[in-house]
Amino acid sequence: MTDLIALEGLNKYYGDYHALRDIDLTIPQGQFFSLLGPSGCGKTTLLRTIAGFEAPSSGVLRIDGRDMKGVAANHRPTNMVFQSYAIFPHLSVAENVAFGLRKDPRSKEEKGRAVGEALEMVGLGGYGNRRAHALSGGQRQRVALARALILQPKVLLLDEPLSALDKKMREQMQVELIRLQRQVGITFILVTHDQEEALVMSDRIAVMFEGEIGQMDDPETLYRRPKSRRVAAFIGLMNFLDARVGGEVSERKTAAPERPTDDPMLTRFRRQIGLLPKAPKALPEYVSGIEVEVAGLGRAVLPKERVPEALRHTGCTVGIRPETLAVLFEGEQTTSRTVDGVVDEVVYYGDMTYYDVRIEGVEKPLTISMKNLIGRPVLEVGAKTRVAWDERSLVPLGH
Amino acid sequence: MSLRIYAIAYLIFLYAPIALLPIFAFNDGTIIAFPLQGFTTEWFAALATTPALHEAVQNSLIIAVTSAVLATCLGMCAARAGTMEDFPGKRGVLGFIMLPLVLPEIIVAVSLLVVVVRVFGLTLGNWTIILAHTLICAPFCIAVLNGAFQNLDRSMEEAAMDLGQSRWGAFRLVTLPLVAPGIISSLLISFTISLDEFIIAFFLSGNSPTMPVYIWGLLRFPERLPVVMALGTILVALSIVLLTVAELMRRRGLARAGLKDTGGFL
């Protein structure tokens, strides 16, 4: 895969306001890429810069290897789906879709066929003669998609395309957009403030804060291994615990229980006569890693690569996702480590229950999500419980 | 009940003088007073045979159409800039160009007279009135067109450019059709303002008067008064037709753009 879009040291100022700060970014051909961030983080400015509606103050933008400096929006191989869809209300659906073909040398019949195909592709076959203002929100969006895709751009830019739709429609359109993107193979760049939308749809996500890219990764890495506290807080729910990071340790793993054997004399005899292979010399198992003392949970040893160099021998924050914790119901056994806690708040969602559990040594209660499996009770506020946790789900973060 | 009486009294106050126009226009007598004398169309016939009046009407129409077009063009540029662009000092500039709205016309008239005759030493004519009328109509056009442009989604033009159109192409193909009802309203309003404007026309007209100036001249001859009434009747009828057309255009424009009717000027 070649890089279709390359941004190098891109900056944008509005007067004194620094809207984009040193953006370096490459997007390969065919990727579904998302710009995610809170409002005012510069994601829309970045998208509009790629589209050609804003000129960068400094830096280079290349699309398909070509420097876009001085190239106006109407000469770029990009097309955009606007947040408001910007469907031309004085034209019919077909005229809207055909708008970009005005300078196309093809015959009227050929264009008409292309329009029909584009409408078919977005599921609006037979809607060509409708007036644009008689369409629902979802239909308008489909028209906007057809209108952009009919020009076969190298990049399709989507500016919060789903924010105007209701929840059901939004979820449906998410799936349709993914399907469409796979079908046409065009690079999509999506701007959204909805982290769930970004996680569901993207191959890769850039999380932006205050004009900078905070982290750029695939959805799973972004969710499971956020690199900073603000990324962790922005994406999904995360509990934050104070922690102290120590140095490197190497220690013997808790000894596994001896395998029960039958008569040891008999075993030795069998080995001697060659019925059993020689016993391998048992090497002691060591875990080596970085020692972390987590408030409320206790001591943990994390693999070296999971603890950034900068955090060693300092105070830091450890993140832990609600679904990687578990409340233990009465009589339930576990092999995980546990701490005692008291249920502070219960929020019932139907398929899930969210508990806030207060544990000793931590000011803010831990949020824990539990699937409501068959036969599993819902605890009440004030109930005493134990919280099971796992070293593997701890994410060390800078302050 | 009292509200209804008030409303009726108010309407009489507003429209009774205008209702008198057609009554006396068809009255067979030169004195404008009751009781009525009898029915006649003599005064309308007199209108048709007055060359000076024809010339005045022709002048007025040329001035009104030209200044309406000029003022609307200026208003369109200003309204587009004011609603869709950002530039330094925008508020100040926009406030300044609305100023002629509250400027006394007599001041405009006198200062233009001084500038044209004394400073540049040019002769007066229709063009001086056109310039002055453009000046006083422009703020009205801006006000009307601002509304039209504010209804317009800013991303419409961007979408057109994104789809391959140049700036001008985007304006012509998308913005212009969408603000067309506003443009028609603006043309009609400035046409009306210019047509019945007296003070500036009085100061700046050379030896060919406009219609209001001509009517004013007629007032010196009491026996010609019923002719003025007839002329007034035609003008009122014409205004009603124009306003109806403007309102119909506005409603059609709204329906086409799929916007909700929030009540126009009628």
Structure-block tokens of residue B100: 């002629």
Total domains, chain B: 1
Q: Cα separations (Å) of A368 from A236, A355, A397?
A: 13, 5, 20
Query: Could you tell me if residue B48 is inside a domain?
Result: no
Q: What is d(CA B101, CA B112) in angstroms, rounded to the nearest whole number?
A: 16
Asked if B126 contacts B152 with a C-beta cutoff of 8 angstroms, the reply is: no
Per CB-CB distance under 8 Å, the chain B contacts of A133 are: 257-258
Query: Could you tell me if residue B209 is inside a domain?
Result: yes
One pLDDT digit (tens) per residue for chain A, 399 residues? 478 999 999 999 998 899 999 999 999 999 999 999 998 899 999 999 999 999 999 999 999 988 988 898 889 999 999 998 899 988 899 999 999 998 888 888 888 999 999 998 888 888 888 888 788 888 898 999 999 999 999 999 999 988 888 888 888 889 989 999 998 899 999 999 999 999 999 999 999 999 999 999 999 999 999 999 999 999 989 999 999 888 888 776 654 444 445 566 666 666 667 666 665 555 556 667 888 899 989 888 888 888 888 888 888 899 999 999 999 988 888 888 899 999 999 999 999 999 999 999 888 999 999 999 888 889 999 999 999 999 888 999 876
Q: What domains sit in chain A, N to C, each tagged with a CATH number?
A: 3-226 (3.40.50.300), 239-252+284-397 (2.40.50.140)
Structure-block tokens of residue A32: 């579904």
Structural Rg of chain B based on CA atoms: 22
Per CB-CB distance under 8 Å, the chain B contacts of A78 are: 162
Q: Name the strand (E) or helix (H) holding A17.
A: strand A17-28
Answer whether the bond into residue A396 is a cis peptide, omega within 30°. no
Per CB-CB distance under 8 Å, the chain A contacts of B162 are: 51, 73-74, 78-80, 148
**Residue A341 backbone zone (phi > 0: left; psi -120 to 50: alpha; other: beta):** beta
Structure-block tokens of residue A195: 């982290």
The DSSP result for A91-112, as a single string, is SBHHHHHHGGGTT--S-HHHHH
Nearest to A155 by CA among A46, A57, A37: A46
Angle (nearest 5°) at CA A321 between A319 and A324: 120
The alpha carbon of residue A291 is apart from the nearest alpha carbon of chain B, in Å, by: 55
Cβ B162–A89 below 8 Å, yes or no? Answer: no
Query: Could you tell me if residue B147 is inside a domain?
Result: yes
Find the CB nearest B164 among A88, A102, A132. A102
Q: What are the percentages of helix, strand and coil residues in chain A, rounded to 5?
A: 25, 35, 40
Q: Judge whether B256 is closer than 8 Å to chain A, CB to CB.
A: yes
Nearest chain B residue to A15 by CA: give it: B88
**Domain limits for position B208:** 58-213
Specify the pairing of strand A352-359 against strand A366-371.
Answer: antiparallel
Nearest to B265 by CA among B73, B248, B76, B235: B248
The alpha carbon of residue B36 is apart from the nearest alpha carbon of chain A, in Å, by: 54
What is the CATH classification number for the domain harbouring B129?
A: 1.10.3720.10
Backbone angles phi, psi at B131, to 5 degrees: -60, -50
| Cα A102 versus chain centre, distance | 39
Structure-block tokens of residue A348: 């019932």
Q: Judge whether A399 is closer than 8 Å to chain B, CB to CB.
A: no
**pLDDT tens sequence across A343-382:** 999 999 999 999 999 999 888 999 999 999 888 889 999 9
Say which residues have a Cβ less than 8 Å from residue A97's Cβ, sequence separation at least 6. Answer: A115, A118, A119, A128, A143, A146, A147, A150
Q: What is d(CA A241, CA A39) in angstroms, rounded to the nearest whole number?
A: 27
Query: Could you tell me if residue B51 is inside a domain?
Result: no
